[in-house]
Amino acid sequence: MSLLRRVDLSRGARALGLALALLAVALTARAAASPDAAHFNTVKQKLAAGKQVVGGTVDVADVDVYCAMASAGFDFLWIEMQHSALTYSQVATMIRACPGPAIPFIRVPTDSEGDIQKAVDIGALGVIVPMVDTMAKIRNAIGFAKYPPVGTRSLGGGQYGALWGRDYRQHANDNVMIVAMVESPAGVQIVDEIARLDQVDVVFVASTDLGSFTGLQQGDPKYEQLVTQIKEATLGAGKVLAGPSAWQGTRDGFRFFQGPPVSALIRSGAKLALEGTADTGTPRGVAPIEGAER
């Protein structure tokens, strides 16, 4: 081999080595600047920091609507599968299209293994359990949502890995949140036990159903006593207290809120537009450019 050839190879090797070194530095810096891969549920992070979170309610199977809600500023999306015709296939498509910034939470129809495991397999990082009036219901939800040794969630197909990383299995139990809804006097009676369960993160005061089951109105002393009982049990156990967004800023202790559904937001947005007070992202008197993203 000629001397020139050896010099060229030597230079090439040094250049390659330098390039690899620079790449390693860049990857190290990127990793240092990125969030902890083990903690990808930003709702859980915010609550741990003492902040409030608000979720918009989605009950329609429209990907464009879902993505608009996901990027509208909500901390999470309350995907309504208890009182809607949404299917898991439809919800899976919506979550895959826009897994954030708002984190997907699903209110499941039941505490069954099928409902809970489908919810987490399609990527939900929050399982909202309705009508918790027995300990069996909330224990079932925890068991089916959490992998062993905490629960009995089985391994199976799903899009969770594509959404939250290939090491999802190792970190899922620390990121999937359980929200227990207390909606009836039977639930209030056992709220202390519910709140003390290690894997329950949030206890939700279902304001409307609490009134429906008791025949009491908000503001009635007997109604308010039920709310106080849930509040004291939840905060006493060190858990997060939740309620409707109408209670945000009006009741102490609440930090997790369910926001309005899509239909209500469309109506309020339409009202603002008709009044000429809607935020179009442009100065007043300047028409927004069609197709331009805000």
- Per the domain annotation, does 106 fall within a domain? yes
Nearest to 161 by CA among 81, 113, 96, 75: 96
Q: On the CB side of 89, how many CA atoms lie within 13 Å of its CA? A: 0
**94 lies in a domain?**
yes
CB-based contact 52:250 (threshold 8 Å): no
Within a domain: 9: no
- Non-local CB neighbours of 138 within 8 Å, separated by 6+ positions: 111, 129, 132, 178, 180, 194, 197, 200
| Domain interval for residue 162 | 37-275
Antiparallel, parallel or unpaired: β 254-261 and 126-129: unpaired
Name the pairing type of β-strands 126-129 and 103-107. parallel
CB-based contacts of 280: which residues, under 8 Å, 6+ apart? 287, 288
pTM above 0.95, yes or no: no
The count of domains in the chain is 1
Task: Note whether residue 286 is domain-resident.
Answer: no
Instruction: State the pLDDT at residue 15.
Output: 46
In-domain check, residue 26: no
Residue 4 lies in a domain: no
Look at residue 59 and tell me if it is in a domain: yes
Q: For the chain, where are the E strands, in sequence order?
A: 53-58, 76-80, 103-107, 126-129, 177-182, 202-205, 240-244, 254-261
Question: One digit per residue, pLDDT tens: the chain, 294 residues?
Answer: 544 444 444 455 454 444 444 333 333 333 333 346 689 999 999 999 999 999 999 999 999 999 999 999 999 999 999 999 999 999 999 999 999 999 999 999 999 999 999 999 999 999 999 999 999 999 999 999 999 999 999 998 899 999 999 999 999 999 999 999 999 999 999 999 999 999 999 999 999 999 999 999 999 999 999 999 999 999 999 999 999 999 999 999 999 999 988 888 888 878 877 887 766 666 766 666 655 555
State how far the Cα of 185 lies from the Cα of 171, in Å rounded to an integer.
36
Residue 241 near residue 254, CB atoms below 8 Å: yes
Q: What is the pLDDT of residue 18?
A: 43
Q: How far apart are CA 109 and CA 80, in angstroms?
A: 9
User: The CATH number of the domain where 102 resides is what?
Assistant: 3.20.20.60
Q: Return the closest-CA partner of residue 125 out of 239, 241, 240, 44.
A: 44
Asked if residue 287 belongs to a domain, the reply is no
